Amino acid sequence: MKIERIEAIPYEIPYVRPLKFASGEVTAADHVLLRIHTDTGIMGVADIPPRPYTYGETQASIVAVINGIFAPALIGMDPFNRQSVQQTLRRTVHNNTAKGAVDIALWDAIGHATGASVWSLLGGYAPSMRVSHMLGFKEPKVLLEEAQRFGSEYGVTTFKLKVGRRPLALDIEACRVLREGLGEDVQIYLDANRGWTANEAIDVLRRTEGLGLAFLEEPCDAKEAMGRRRLVERSTIPIFGDESVPTAGDASRELLSGGCNGICIKTARTGFTESQEVLGLSTGLGVDVYMGNQIDTQIGTIATVVFGAAHEATSRRAGELSNFLDMADDLLAEPLVIRDGRIDVPEGPGVGATIDEDKLAHYRVDGA
């Protein structure tokens, strides 16, 4: 089996509710659908989320790097030769989500070629994954109402609260209102998206002590090295790396230098192959991990579920799997379902994402 053709299809689906956070805001899913065709008629699929404020990638740059660099280098290669593909991709620096999608699409093709689910090929640990819902910048009362709705409608009991605002009292009050309104049994953790300084993060943790927060993700820029190490040393809850650990090498650097003591894994940026490297590094060092969300569509969410449920360590914590509900539509032929706070692993071969061709034709923006 050889790679015969690669498609990078830009499309745009509006959001019903924009999501605001410290490093940016999204009002539409201006993503890229990747399809890798083989000479046997088998096709692998993945979704690519441009995040210029995190990785520097835009929809146009993703299409350009795939069509201009990756496709010419990969056509003719065997999808099963994943290490050779990885070495080919690594010749080009950055372009994290474009590389991650190529890897996921190749795993999808391998699954279809062997008749096996990628979930089982990766490890096949759990049949479903617990859901965490992400809460953006809103008034505390509105945040509480949204969290209570997700609890009652979907059974969600874990919430990520986006923080990183000034004055700090805005986020501190949101933490207090959520804890008082949701009770002790609901897990709440924070993500500042580098919005604070290390000293501000220390102040927030001091002023929210006793609220039972589970952990804090990306409190400040990792380049603020001395302050960040001091924060990690002083914090009574884990400090997780996300934007600062886009590759396995970055994760190694941050963990060993004391820049964080937990790792967020996102299949959108490390695919399945490098995500396994990050996971192995973390578990070998005794470091907690969880599955993050790159504000993914349902296609991207399926990839997160497949990887997260396949491994024991990533199944321990709820994964961020619900943000597709803020989108007006999706390209999936059969929508994902959150039931009792969980999403099931798709049945059948491959990753499990079947595209609705009519929807793709409607939302694509390349004029094809």
Known catalytic residues are 162, 191, 217, 242, 266, 294
Contact criterion met (CB below 8 Å) for 256 and 284 = no
Q: What is the largest distance, in Å, between two alpha-carbon atoms of the chain?
A: 60
Query: What is the three-class DSSP state of 203?
Result: helix
Within 8 A by CB and 6+ apart from 249, the residues are none
Write a three-state SS string for 157-216: CEEEEECCCCCCHHHHHHHHHHHHHHCCCCEEEEECCCCCCHHHHHHHHHHCCCCCCCCE
Contact criterion met (CB below 8 Å) for 215 and 239 = yes
Angle between helices 82-89 and 273-284 (to 10 degrees): 90
Residue recorded with tokens 């899913």: 29
Within 8 A by CB and 6+ apart from 218, the residues are 191, 192, 193, 194, 240, 241, 242, 243, 244
Angle between helices 169-182 and 140-154 (to 10 degrees): 40
Distances (CA, A) of 135 to 18, 221, 331: 11, 21, 24
Number of helices (H) and strands (E), helices first, in the chain?
15, 14
Give CA torsion, residues 271, 326, 52, 215, to 10 deg: -70
**Short-list 349, 365, 292, 363, CA closest to 45:** 349
Hey, which bits of 31-127 come out as E strands?
A: 32-38, 43-48
**Short-list 82, 148, 151, 89, CA closest to 118:** 82
Distance in angstroms (rounded) separating the CA atoms of residues 94 and 253:
17
User: Interior CA angle at 137 toward 131 and 142, to 5°?
Assistant: 80
